[in-house]
Structure 1
Amino acid sequence: MPYGFGLALSSAVLVVAGLVSPSPSAPMTCPPVLPVSGAASAVTPTSVTISYSIFLSPPCGYDPPITIALFASQADAQQWTDPVGEALSGPERSGQLTIGGLTPDTQYWFRFAAGDHRDPYVFASVRTAPVPVCSATIQIGSAWGGGFVATVSVRNVGTEALEAWHVSWQWPGDERIQALWNATAQGAAAVGNASYNGELAPGASTTFGMLVATSMPPGAMALSCDRP
């Protein structure tokens, strides 16, 4: 009987020893993804808008707020020196930030930081838009069930004379140009100037017209104008 009691006691000690001496835990492994990502989502001549998403929290990633720093050269961005602009996010883990006061038609580089932690992964460039040289606006005149007539005004909004212009847009439906005047067709939704109205001094304007077939006339439309 004493011999059997000794075995039971010995087992109890082993179980208790196992409880108070757990095995060491395995080190944490971060998933094989970037902790943050970003890309330019919009540009104007004087600003850039960067979209960002924070995927991982510490210790593998970051918590908001996050800072986007913009640099004038690739070397400055690599060394993180002399940022030309910064924008700080709110508590959201994804969103958009805009940095303004920039030079038109200029390339910049952006990077991310969270507090004192500078992200070493995201390193990308973005270019501001050039100053527009012309604008185009459309006015739909008479319209009926099978089509409409539209007049487009083209204006030189730059500081230099235009020798030629190009206007393009996107049709919202099944529109098709049937006839065109004071312009030359350059695609299903693009035209260029005629031989006699391409030159526009600063502030000067001209017009062209088109007859369009469609099952339903469109509402407001945005047109782009630039040099060809």
Structure 2
Amino acid sequence: MRAQAPPSSLTRPVTVAAVLLGMFLSCLALTSPAHAAPTGFRVENGRLLEASGNDFVMRGVNHAHTWYPDRIGSLAHIKAKGANTVRVVLSSGDRWTRNDTADVANVVAQCKRNRLICVLEVHDTTGYGEQSGAVTLSRAADYWIGVRSALTGQEDHVIVNIGNEPYGNTGYSAWTADTKAAIRKLRDAGFGHTIMVDAPNWGQDWAFTMRDNAASVLAADPDANTVFSIHMYGVFDTASEITDYLNRFVAAKLPIVVGEFGHDHSDGNPDEDTILAVAEQLRLGYLGWSWSGNGGGVEYLDLVTDFDPDQLTGWGRRLFDGANGIAATAEEAAIYSSGGGDTTPPTAPGTPTASGVTSSSVTLAWGAATDASGVTGYDVVRIGGGTETVATSTAGTSATLTGLAPSTSHTFAVYARDAAGNRSPRSGTVTVTTSPGGTPSACGVGYRVTGSWPGGFQGEITLRNTGTQPVDGWTLRWTFPDGQRITSLWGGTATQSGSDVAVTAAPYTATVPAGGTVTLGFTGTRGTSNPSPTAFTLNGAACSVS
């Protein structure tokens, strides 16, 4: 997602030179260099094809995995809405917590399990040259090389989007050379995947750097297997701008997708109806921003509220269920249909049984599933206002779940998965009620704002057990006085309804010994003022506030 409005409109006069340039680009695009035989997705004659030759058109959304790693279950919800593709936000570790090889492998497995094509992108490049801390495309390429073992052999299922919006509005003329070099670095490292590259100018290419140099970038790819991604926000606020931009790529036989777009933005009001209509007319892919978890004043771009698939926003209803939307136009990748490899799921596991129930944990055991190619593991899910994966077991048919809320009924089920990424039908369910976590005889809360910026802030909460008995499992509740909303939290899991917040303990903060403390940190949105909450309760008991 882009973070800053561009300084100028997309529209500019079409000159004779521009027409001649378009003709030149068409010719150049048709003259592809000799390149390696595809091992998965490939670009041919301006189209994205699967290895089988199936013409694949992306229809999907973006998911902010690197900021919400506990929401990996959202991929199942995205698939259930009809998507065939998900673009997953990752971090190289330069600006946010690095998604390591094991995590990337799990993301790919979850995509395959849910029969989604996985576009993986590094977000740390966003706005390079203008955004503090942003890194180069070369640095992003180094990250991909570092996690290559998770991607080798996945060319049928994964597209590598080198870096998100790799230039802001400063220094973007270097985009062409830097993009070519990053592609070459990945090819030299052995990557055979289709590579996706984002436009500069915060992804919106208002200076046409990507449009006017795309043919030379494709020609510089030894595999001729690069797709171009335009992000359409406020720059693309008229039908003529959208139609002209996309048609120029199609006429030049250069592969283009709308890698991000929204129905509104701080830099202007994009014409989402035209984006959807023209993409469908030209059979071009699109990926809406974004499933859930937006903050910093762009919460309106959430497709669902609080990651709940049953709470589609207006934007979500438009993208999934509206004219030319995902439900009406998405076609599943052929790799997942008959003839595309093993698509037979395992049998359902046995209904789980529960033992060792405490205020914050339970051990589940279940009967083994069967599969012709072998079961590789099981996913335990909690069923409530959506289905949430709470444990993954790759060995054995039992799992101990921790960090549960005390005095609460929890319903669990199990899925099996095989080596091809197929997921079984769901097992039967078991409902467990955790024991009381204990009401503290006394508790205290310290609340402070540790940083703020226009529209947002960072806070810290110190929870003190000032009583004489330990607290095993807890829920802390408070009400924000001026409509503040939590966008991310560490040390627990936050749920918010209006101004009312409830935070349940994480496994590593669940026990608060007598006289002990735990600390929570969070980021949130705010209005002009940012007054502190005045009352907190811990497992129903009022706490002193300092």
**TM over 0.5, yes or no?**
no
- Report the TM-score when normalising by structure 1: 0.40
Q: Who wins on radius of gyration, i.e. which is larger?
A: 1
User: Which one has a larger percent strand, Structure 1 or Structure 2?
Assistant: 1
- Report the TM-score when normalising by structure 2: 0.17
